Structure 1
Amino acid sequence: MTQRFMRATGKLRIIFGPAHSSSLDHEMTEENKRLLVRRQAEAQQWETVRRPDGSTYVVPKNPDDKSLR
């Protein structure tokens, strides 16, 4: 089954070309740096709570803050 999948995707790559890939060691652009800072600040507003059954959910760190609800 795996070999059939690889043959099928190989045929698709012939038609559509290879997937775009870039190196991971390039410098970040200023726009990406600003976006990263903003995303990190947003992530710090939340905390993950784990239930006894092992499932998790996120809640705001400040329960009085209704700005994102």
Structure 2
Amino acid sequence: MVSNQFKKAAVDMAGHLIVAGVVFGLCYWWFNRMDFPIICSAIIIAGGIKNSIMTFNYEKRCRQEDSKNPHQGKE
């Protein structure tokens, strides 16, 4: 069974990959060179990896805090 935090991180990464592909295609079409599109796509993919890791860690930390204080915020 796949955890909810992994699903969120995977969806976030998939979105960044789609955007990176579109940016790569547009930059290659506009500039007709390979260096600039690769750099732009690499920056977007690196941002996606960072966001996925942060999402995964945030969900994990929230789950750990909920297990320590199960009644916090609940009435």
Question: Rg: which structure is higher?
Answer: 1
TM-score by length of 2: 0.30
Q: Which has the higher strand share?
A: 1
TM-score by length of 1: 0.32
